[in-house]
């Protein structure tokens, strides 16, 4: 009977060892799953941060390009405005010269008509 008790004790001990090993395996598996989930979560967070940084850089570059385009357009518009003003001034001078010449011709014709007595 003493041997039976020893055998039962040994079997119980072996059973407890198996249960402890199973519990340890489960704990290791749970830890791996939690660690994997944490790694995935950290990777997603890092990817999100990288994406935001890239978007910020893209926005800044786009804004710089926009400013450069607006600056060039404003400069070109100013050049066009100056050329238009110069053309207007040139046309005014030509018109004044032409008007002076026309006035002289008309006044000469009127003078001749007056001298002839036709007016």
What pTM was computed for the model? 0.51
Each residue's pLDDT tens digit, 70-87: 999 999 999 999 999 999
DSSP the chain: -HHHHHHHHHHHHHHHHHHHHHHHHHHHHHHHHHHHHHHHHHHHHHHHHHHHHHHHHHHHHHHHHHHHHHHHHHHHHHHHHHHHHHHHHHHHHHHHHHHHHHHHHHHHHHHHHHHHT--
Tens-digit pLDDT profile for residues 39-52: 999 999 999 999 99
Quickly state the pLDDT bin for 118 (edges 50, 70, 90).
confident
Mean pLDDT of the chain: 90
More confident residue, 8 or 63: 63
């Amino acid at each position: 009977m003493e041997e039976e008790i020893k055998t039962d004790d040994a079997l119980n001990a072996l059973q407890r060892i198996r249960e402890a090993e199973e519990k340890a395996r489960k704990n290791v598996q749970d830890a791996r799953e939690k660690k994997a989930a944490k790694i995935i979560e950290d990777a997603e967070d890092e990817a999100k941060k990288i994406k935001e940084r890239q978007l910020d850089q893209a926005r800044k570059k786009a804004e710089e390009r926009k400013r450069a385009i607006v600056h060039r357009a404003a400069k070109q518009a100013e050049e066009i405005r100056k050329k238009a003003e110069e053309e207007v001034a040139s046309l005014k001078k030509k018109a004044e010269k032409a008007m002076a010449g026309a006035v002289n011709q008309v006044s000469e014709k009127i003078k001749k008509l007056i001298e002839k007595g036709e007016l």
